[in-house]
A = this chain, B = another copy of it.
Amino acid sequence: MKVTFITTNKRKFIEVRDILKNYAVEIKQLAIDYEENHDASIEEVARSAAEKLTNELQKPIVLEDTGLFFTAYNGFPGALPKFVFHTLGYRGIFKLLAGENRAAYFKTVAAYCEPGEGPVLFEGVMKGQITEEVYNEDKDEMPYDKIFIPDGKEVTISEMTLQEKNSFSQRAAAFRQFGEYLQKNYQ
């Protein structure tokens, strides 16, 4: 089965492709930069974008939204991790968390939609801690992966292989449910 995955983020595409091949699902990347309402939760962002883009494109699509939530700050940066990284950077993030509870979690909501149908959502969560320094700073990968140690692990995500990350990450958990859903309903 083939599905279009809408994302402008090549690394997300690679992660999700790796997960879905276990379900005999082949994905194709379509890099459309859709609107995300800044008051909306990641669930609302994923749901409304999936519905809108399916109807525009008139084909089944899947997309995801991922948030990061610091316990010390009422869910900041929430649905806006990219904006916060681009403005505050590691310097501002570390400053905010100095002396605070460093617990945080990632949440991914994947939304699958077919033309004329409502979106189906799949969700995954990964809890952990924000580090006090940046690991693998020069590596070309997702910025928060360099400062996040998942609960039960010893190292940041940036120090793991894709396979290791995909064995427990919140994005992998969401897309495994999606893979199971497709298997159950279409194969």
Contact = CB atoms under 8 A, between A and B. Distances in A.
Interface of A: 33, 35-40, 73-80, 83-84, 86-89, 92, 95-96, 98
B74 A86 contact: yes
Given A37-B38, A38-B37, A80-B38, A73 B96 contact: no
Given A35-B35, A37-B38, A38-B38, A92 B80 contact: no
Copy total for this chain: 2
A22 to B, nearest CB: 33
- Among A37, A38, A77, A96, the most chain B Cβ lie within 10 Å of the Cβ of A38
Contacts of A75: 87
Contact of A95 (B39, B80, B89, B98): B98
Nearest to A77: B87
A75 B77 CA distance: 16
Given A38-B79, A80-B80, A92-B96, 18 more contacts: A35-B35, A35-B40, A36-B37, A36-B39, A38-B83, A39-B83, A73-B87, A73-B88, A73-B89, A74-B89, A75-B87, A76-B87, A76-B88, A76-B92, A77-B87, A78-B83, A95-B96, A96-B96
A74 B87 contact: yes
Nearest to A75: B87
8 contacts: A35-B35, A35-B39, A73-B89, A73-B92, A75-B87, A76-B84, A76-B87, A80-B83
